Amino acid sequence: MTIDKNKVKSFFNLSFYVRLAVILLIIILAVFLYHYGKQHNIYVDNRTIEIDGVEYKAIEWAEVSVDGRDAKEYYPRTRQEEVVQRQKHSIHILYEDEDFNQFEVDAEFTIPLNEKEIVLSLPALVAGLGEDKYLVEFVPMAQQLGIDTGAAAEDTEITEADMFGDMTMDF
């Protein structure tokens, strides 16, 4: 079996390389847009939390700014949502302790690519714990309590009589 060199040359011409370059450009653009355009919900939480048997008390008052946005005020038992893009973020915290002494904390953290929603614990961050301790996966309250929200809707079958009611007396 012999290979015709003219057919090989005609296959690897300029249009082949242009098509290959366009395909590679589209793949690179898709990866770039997925990585930098994906939105994440960060729930900044100021609640007393226990980590590894140590209790970290909620901060009495704090102003928190994520990625240089407008600062939001936090009091004990406060949770607010920030919608952000990209993986790497910065946070600036201005807070007061029980004696009304003011402190500032600046930190950077990275959200895992596969996480859409995370909870950032202010008391754990201010205490100087690592990123793996103050960033945790968001779990809805119903799931934490073991409440099954989807099973009841799946078990019931909707019939035509249920949708329109008893229409025998309407005429």
Note whether 19 and 94 are same-domain residues: no
Note whether 119 and 61 are same-domain residues: yes
Question: What's 122's DSSP letter?
Answer: H
Tell me the sheet residues that pair with 167: none
Residue with tokens 């904390």: 105
Note whether 45 and 100 are same-domain residues: yes
Note whether 51 and 28 are same-domain residues: no
Gap between the Cα atoms of 166 and 88, Å rounded: 58
Note whether 23 and 56 are same-domain residues: no
Residue with tokens 């990585």: 35
**Domain tally, the chain:** 2
Note whether 24 and 59 are same-domain residues: no
Residue with tokens 């355009």: 37
Note whether 27 and 77 are same-domain residues: no
Note whether 92 and 123 are same-domain residues: yes
Domain range enclosing 19:
5-34
Residue 59 lies in a domain: yes
Gap between the Cα atoms of 102 and 9, Å rounded: 73
Residue 151 lies in a domain: no
Segment 104-142, tens digit of pLDDT: 999 999 988 788 899 999 999 999 898 889 998 888 777
pLDDT averaged over the chain? 83
Name the 3-class secondary structure at 131.
Answer: helix
Per cent of the chain over pLDDT 90 is 47
Q: In what order do the strands lie in the sheet with 88-96?
A: 72-74, 61-66, 88-96, 102-110
Residue 24 has pLDDT above 80, yes or no: yes
Q: 57 and 123 in contact (C-beta within 8 Å)?
A: yes
Note whether 86 and 15 are same-domain residues: no
pLDDT for the residue 163: 54
